[in-house]
Structure 1
Amino acid sequence: MEFVRVTGSDDVLFKKAFDLYEVSFPEHEQRLFENQLAALNNPEYHCEVVLEKGVFVGIIFYWETAYYSYIEHFAIDPDKRGNSVGSRCLKKFCDMHSLVILEIDPPVDPISIRRKNFYLRLGFNGSNYQHNHPAYRKQNLPHELVILSYPRNISEIEYTEFNEYLKNTIMQTDF
């Protein structure tokens, strides 16, 4: 499994990555196209495609700080799901990063419960922090999400620092 960074819209893998991004996430969880291009200019932002034996299998968009890596978007191509592709991808990613933070929908229905269990099986830890992700688009409101971290729980101070980074750096390109 290989992670290949996409650095601009002229990259050969850009269209494949953003086609999967658009079909994998609801509109309220997506940046506007021009904001996505702006994020690509931030050296802490990594827009990466996942290849297995040279074949495109997914995307992982994350922010790399000195203290943690925050996975903003992760998706496996629907045609490549199964055979533990997502598990292998995240395992490799986590092995390469000392502390990983991500967000999931609150576990309130079969799909969101299954998603939470997927991450817990991989060793992610849940948190009890009340967390609202800022809106990506003007017409949307912030939405509640659940914080997970690997390989350990994050402290309240770490959560507060992450949330400030989310609001003041990650989301600065939006609107």
Structure 2
Amino acid sequence: MFERITEETFDEIFPLLEAAFPVTELRIREDQRNLLQEEYYRLYGVRKDGVFAAVFATWEIEDFLYIEHFAVKEEFRNGGYGGSLLDTLLKEKGRPMVLEVEVPEDAMTRRRVGFYERHGLVYNDYPYLQPPMRKGQGMLPLRFMTKPSAIDNKTYERYKKQIYKYVYKFEEE
């Protein structure tokens, strides 16, 4: 079901990422492609009717799974497809999970948080700043959602430190 993306299939999947994420939440094409060489990074595509219908970008860091990107092609949304893929991925990986979401301040961001909550993730209100994904960008205020449960401050700090180190190559001052 989950097809590991390689150099050969990367150009097929990247447009799905570009269509689903704003530039503040996505690396430039070559930087994203270069991640395929990273030890902890996995990029997966899911095909439906022969085309990529969904994408997961994950980092398997220590004892947890960090989902950097998850997107479903627009024509396959709102029918339960994305939720079933997310549930399957989490079951297959069998480890605690973390992802970043926007602070739920409008209908769309509240809806996104609600989607993840329906799939067992918990919103954690620790003030988290995502390091820039492209040169010239600032820190982006986001929050963690985690599964199977909420996390304490010590776990939050550990997850943040590891994500900064491996995913963003960022050191706090």
The TM-score normalised by the length of structure 2 is 0.91
Q: Which amino acid aligns with 1:171?
A: Y
Structure 1 Cα separation of the partners of residues 123 and 24 of structure 2 = 23
1:86-116: CA deviation from partner (whole Å, max 9, x where unpaired): 1101111111232110011110111101111
Q: Which amino acid aligns with 1:126?
A: Y
| 1:156 correspondence with 2:133 | no
Partner of 2:80: 84
Q: Which amino acid aligns with 1:62?
A: T
Partner of 1:165: 162
CA RMSD across the alignment: 1.6
Deviation at 1:163, TM superposition (A): 1.1
Partner of 1:28: 24
Counterpart selection for 2:15 from 16, 19, 31:
19
Deviation at 1:146, TM superposition (A): 1.3
| 1:68 correspondence with 2:64 | yes
Cα pair 2:14 2:29 within 8 Å, conserved: no
Counterpart selection for 1:94 from 90, 94, 101:
90
Deviation at 1:17, TM superposition (A): 1.1
Deviation at 1:160, TM superposition (A): 1.2
The DSSP-based 3-state class of the residue aligned with 2:150 is coil
Partner of 2:4: 5
Deviation at 1:55, TM superposition (A): 4.8
Runs of 4+ deviating beyond 6 Å:
none
Partner of 1:147: 144
Deviation at 1:59, TM superposition (A): 0.2
How many corresponding residue pairs? 169
Structure 1 Cα separation of the partners of residues 169 and 15 of structure 2 = 23
Give identity over the alignment, percent: 28
The DSSP-based 3-state class of the residue aligned with 2:169 is helix
| 1:119 correspondence with 2:112 | no
Q: Which runs of 5+ in 2 are unaligned?
A: none
Structure 2 Cα separation of the partners of residues 60 and 4 of structure 1 = 10
Q: Which amino acid aligns with 1:161?
A: R
Deviation at 1:172, TM superposition (A): 2.4
Cα pair 2:68 2:99 within 8 Å, conserved: yes
Deviation at 1:33, TM superposition (A): 2.0
Q: Which amino acid aligns with 2:97?
A: V
The TM-score normalised by the length of structure 1 is 0.90
1:18-64: CA deviation from partner (whole Å, max 9, x where unpaired): 00001110011111222112211012100110234755220000100
Structure 1 Cα separation of the partners of residues 129 and 113 of structure 2 = 17
